[in-house]
Amino acid sequence: MPRFGIGDRIKILPEGATPFVGLEGVIQEVLPNDRGIATLDRYIVTFKWGERQTFYGVQLGSVTTRQ
């Protein structure tokens, strides 16, 4: 099961080398790993200025989660 869902607000963690570290965004799409390996699930995140980027779950921290 994916760690985050569509609409979840997240923060980019410093675990990956990315210029987006520390920024918040919203999960727009979940791309589960084909072999069911949850740590390799990818998430498309949209930032407030409209840019979309793809991240692995380990690069993301929860700001708010689904109810």
Q: How far is 39 from 36, CA to CA, in rounded Å?
A: 9
In Å, how far from its chain's centre is CA 24? 10
Q: Is residue 67 predicted with pLDDT exceeding 60?
A: no
Strand-pair category, 60-64 with 52-56: unpaired
Type of residue found at 11? K
The tally of CA atoms less than 13 A away on the side-chain side of residue 47 is 14
Q: Categorize the per-residue pLDDT at 38 as very low, low, confident or very high, splitting at 50, 70 and 90.
A: confident
pLDDT at 24: 97
| Strand-strand pairing, 9-12 and 42-46 | unpaired
pLDDT at 16: 74
pTM: 0.87
Q: Which two tokens stand for residue 8?
A: 């979840």
Confidence of residue 54 (pLDDT cuts 50, 70, 90): very high
Domains and CATH numbers, the chain: 9-64 (2.30.30)
